[in-house]
Chain A
Amino acid sequence: MAPIDTHGLRRPNDPPVLILTSLASGPKHGHALAKDIEDFAGVHLGPGALYGAITRLEERGLIEPLATDDRRRPYRITASGSAALADAVVDMRRVADVGATRLGLSPVGLA
């Protein structure tokens, strides 16, 4: 199988993957991101880890900040971020399907 350019998004519990997944439902600021990620993934990202990932994602143009006067600045996913997340999700789903098939479970199936 040819390697896929995952834009540095490798594992489902990588902070960048979690942040992009959270932002896929709409813009959020840091605390809202952390709470959402904890709700859907059960992963608590500390402030340092969260902002480390936000910095990398913004540098790569996968997310962008929204203008605000509040210190709690919201971020939104960009078109490149959506494409990168889609690639990563397909990649992860492919692995999940192989695992499910080999375990005799119902594959989730590719979209």
Chain B
Amino acid sequence: MIAIGVLVAVSATLVWRRDGLSGLLDILGHDVSLFAGILPRVLAGCLLGAFIAEILPHEKVSRSLGPSSGLMGLLIGAAFGAILPGGPFTAYPVASALLAVGADFGATISMVVSWTLIGYGRAVAWELPIMGTDFTLWRIAISLPLPVLAGALGRFVYVRMYPAETESANEGE
């Protein structure tokens, strides 16, 4: 937060020395209107995260996203990441909760990667207005297979890196 503040202050000073006060105010006006547009979506994301955390059925999560959940577990993880709205302030706490209630690394990787690549929250708030609709939809279409592939690779590597933990997790079921 402090590092960002310093970076912003230095950049703003550079802009002021290069473009003068009008350059400084142009960017400020643009960014303030962007901020005002984003705020309601941030509120929606926060409320949604809180409701989902409250109503999530924890027993079901460990069954459908655990180490033996197969391709279906990766698909569920990816689908959940894609529909989970909000920003990092909802995705990471929810992902962490999934790990805690029995999801394995593979399904959780699918969820996190899906949230960051396919999730519509960031795409709507920032990517659509800045990159344009064509690029955004094209980028999301190409990204569609990646979350499940990343989860599958994660599960494949995890079993070989930590064989003891995988065995004990399977015995526990």
Q: Do A and B bind each other?
A: no
Q: Which residues of B are in contact with A by a Cβ distance under 8 Å? A: none
Q: Which residues of A are in contact with B by a Cβ distance under 8 Å? A: none
